[in-house]
Amino acid sequence: MTRSRGTRGPHVRVESLTPFLWFTDQAEAASKLYVATFANSRITAVRRVGPGGEAMVVEFELDGLPFVALNGGPTYRLTPAFSVFVSCATQREVDVLWSRLVRGGRPSRCGWLVDRFGLSWQIIPKRLPELLSDEDPERARRAMAAMMKMQKIVIRTLERAVDG
């Protein structure tokens, strides 16, 4: 353990940090959608139980980041209090990811959507934070105002708004 300036207490090194997602009974279907959507993704393990061999735990990677999905029953539900933030280089990436993930789910505001399994996603072009932090406060304000009117973020619309 090491101590870092500006923090209280020691830092602890751990083996790994992995988002753990609780589903009622769709962990395997959700995992399959996610790995089919993102490059460099794969299901790494499925732990099955019961006479029908239903998936209980699914381990998978999205672009190399590990996740675990559990079929834990209806006790808990996913909420927008946890979301997966996806930074996209281009509008095409935003469009493709948005259309795949929102299918059967519902769009929200400012680049957020909830997929058909209840997981919240933020599909954000890297251009958005650049425009929101423009050194000209009026341009940044216009970017914010434009973003607040959007569901899916559209870079061209943001840039037009910023330019006035």
Bridge partners of 83?
Answer: 120
3-state secondary structure of 140: helix
Alpha carbon of residue 114 to chain centroid: 9
Q: What is the DSSP letter of 2?
A: B
Looking at residue 7, its pLDDT comes to 63
Which stretches of the chain are DSSP H helices?
27-37, 91-102, 127-132, 137-148, 155-163
Looking at residue 116, its pLDDT comes to 98
Tokens of 107: 């769009």
Is residue 146 a contact partner of residue 162, using CB atoms and an 8 Å limit? yes
The CATH number of 78-164 is 3.10.180.10
Answer CATH for 16-74 from 3.40.50.2300, 3.10.20.30, 3.10.180.10, 3.30.1180.20? 3.10.180.10
Looking at residue 4, its pLDDT comes to 52
Residue with tokens 């619309």: 157
Calpha distance 27→73 (Å, rounded): 10
Is the pLDDT at 135 greater than 60? The verdict is yes
For the question of whether the overall pTM of this predicted structure is more than 0.85, the answer is yes
